[in-house]
Structure 1
Amino acid sequence: MLKAAVQVLVTLAALYLVLQKTDVRQIGTVIGSSNLWYILCAILFFNLSKLFNAVRLNRFFKAVGLNLSWAYNLKLYYLGMFYNLFLPGGVGGDGYKIFVLQKNHRVKTINVFHAVFWDRLTGIIALIFLGLILLLPSSFASTMPEAVPYAWAGLLAVYPLAYVLNRFVYRQFLDLFAITALESVMVQAAQAATAFFILQALAPGTHSIDYLAIFMISTVATILPITVGGAGAREVTFYYMLSHINLDASLGIALSLVFFGISAISSLPGILLRIRHEASIPEATEAA
């Protein structure tokens, strides 16, 4: 309870810090005058990214002997999304998935944990990959030219290093490396498209590359288990990184808040879903 209370305080402190330093009325005006059609496109691409993610996760489940139907896996994924909305660091839903699958299926908890953990890690790897791609043509490259060679080195090294990690630590998923890497990029590309459509809804014609690059970096920040549902962490990242390149922080915070709203709306159906026992194929279960 103390840990949860600290995370709530950190979330509130982060939001208070950012909102104190920005024009709250301007943020409200920007959000209030947003283009609804672009917002609907953003909702569509957000849920498309979650669909890609659920497909990728199901591949890892099958690799450890959990043969779940597409519909069952999707229900479980949206339930996890709902818990991620309220639990610290955006990873609470992962723990819920592990709990449900261990309870309803004859499979070792450690196997489910490995599948969920590697799924999460492949997503972070794709985030870093696309984040570096967006940073290279952004304003950060011109303001910090000394960092550009390191960005190129990271871009070229990220997936070779991921393959080495996969080969020597998670060999059970090695056969899935290529297809899940592609799916991970598709997930994050759809998330970037979500942010792009939000930008178009709020202020078309702005420095899209800069905002999208920061969006990808801020998504990594929301994974850290220091705030509730990642709230606050993304806004702080937007504020300080946009201030560094002298861009309007209010627009970045508005983007962040709208994205959180879309995430919340898309997660609400998860609470209406019911997870029932669905048996795995015996042979695959024994293999686990």
Structure 2
Amino acid sequence: MTKASSSIKSKLIKTAIQVILTVAALAIVLSKTDLNRLWAIISNARPGYLLGAVLFFNISKIINALRLNRFFTAIGLRLSTWYNMKLYYLGMFYNLFLPGGIGGDGYKIYVLKKHHGLTVVNIFGAVFWDRVSGIFALIFLSALLIVPSSFAALYPGEMLWVWVIAGISYPLSLLLTWLFYRQFMPVFLITAVESLAIQATQVISAWFILMALSASSHHIDYLAIFLISSVATILPLTIGGAGAREVTFFYALNHLGLDVNTGIALSLVFFVVSAISSLPGILAKMRHEPGHSLAAVEKE
């Protein structure tokens, strides 16, 4: 078996596993959900609030692209804002619509190495640490939302640990940056602020979805679970996080004794919002391939 065929086989196996896990997770959740009520909630969603969700989701992605470009600049890779934005949205498209294959991050690394002559290790470091900085912000904001949520009433003794997690998240992030990626120390503060802004705008996007679904109470609980479910989608086990997020909502809301249907609706609509927002990436793909190199695009 050639190296190319072996690579294709491994990608197909990865894709098949992602599809199986996604379908299985969704099947488990939907089999235990009132589908008629779920559909009624989604079909009666208010369009104006959904537009707000799309707007703030894309604001989060624009900030994310800007943060990633700061990491690129720190390794000596200077990309124009517009070029970087198009590459970022193209990566979003690959992540969501081409699961198990090249992947958005892998594609960015491939393209930047090909056209800018940097080593894979340097580019990978920038892309990887961009992700890690987002994880620390996600953990920090999750802890802050758990404190005023219904989880605090159920587990009052554990709230001290939640505060500890919130308190050490950024000192730990700073320490790890200094130990392993010291080249990113000059941009640590600004990227940390951007990471918080990214997660905050995604929370606002989720709040708009709750309003669109006419959820009248327990917003903090839904938003806390939304952030916790975002942690669950970090590993690329399912397609675009679908399934993993719904499973988290289902079991967390059942644990709190809250309406599962609203949470599942929030999760499904958020996936649709992310899918719609990823579609502009195909336009970048059409401009880049074939015969229109990304290096040429950068000069536009």
Query: CA contact under 8 A between 1:63 and 1:172: conserved in structure 2?
Result: yes
TM-score (norm 1): 0.94
CA deviation profile, 1:135-157 (whole Å, cap 9, x unmatched): 00000011111211110110111
**Identity, % of aligned pairs?**
59
> What SS does structure 1 have at the residue aligned with 2:176?
helix
Corresponding position of 1:203: 214
Task: Identify which of structures 1 and 2 has the higher relative contact order when contacts are C-alpha pairs closer than 8 Å and 6+ apart.
Answer: 1
The 1:90/1:37 distance shift into structure 2, 3 A limit, reads farther
Amino acid at match of 1:215: F
Deviation at 1:16, TM superposition (A): 0.2
5+ long unaligned stretches in structure 2: 1-11
Corresponding position of 1:284: none
CA deviation profile, 1:156-215 (whole Å, cap 9, x unmatched): 110001110011111000111100000000000000000000001102422100000000
Choose which of 72, 77, 100 in structure 1 pairs with 2:111.
100
Corresponding position of 2:224: 213
1:4 equivalent to 2:21? Answer no
TM-score (norm 2): 0.90
Corresponding position of 2:3: none
Amino acid at match of 1:36: P
Query: CA contact under 8 A between 1:90 and 1:229: conserved in structure 2?
Result: no
Corresponding position of 2:89: 78
Deviation at 1:2, TM superposition (A): 2.1
Choose which of 124, 128, 150 in structure 2 pairs with 1:113.
124
Deviation at 1:236, TM superposition (A): 0.2
Q: Which runs of 4+ in 1 moved over 4 A?
A: 87-91
The 1:194/1:124 distance shift into structure 2, 3 A limit, reads same
Distance 1:201 1:146 in 2: 35
> What SS does structure 2 have at the residue aligned with 1:223?
coil
Deviation at 1:4, TM superposition (A): 2.0
Output aligned runs, 1:176-187, within 5 Å.
176-187=187-198
5+ long unaligned stretches in structure 1: 282-288
Output aligned runs, 1:25-174, within 5 Å.
25-88=36-99, 92-174=103-185
Corresponding position of 1:256: 267
Query: CA contact under 8 A between 1:91 and 1:223: conserved in structure 2?
Result: no
Amino acid at match of 2:294: H
Query: CA contact under 8 A between 1:101 and 1:112: conserved in structure 2?
Result: yes
Distance 2:154 2:91 in 1: 40
Distance 1:92 1:130 in 2: 27
Query: CA contact under 8 A between 1:132 and 1:155: conserved in structure 2?
Result: yes
Distance 2:265 2:210 in 1: 9
Distance 1:258 1:121 in 2: 26
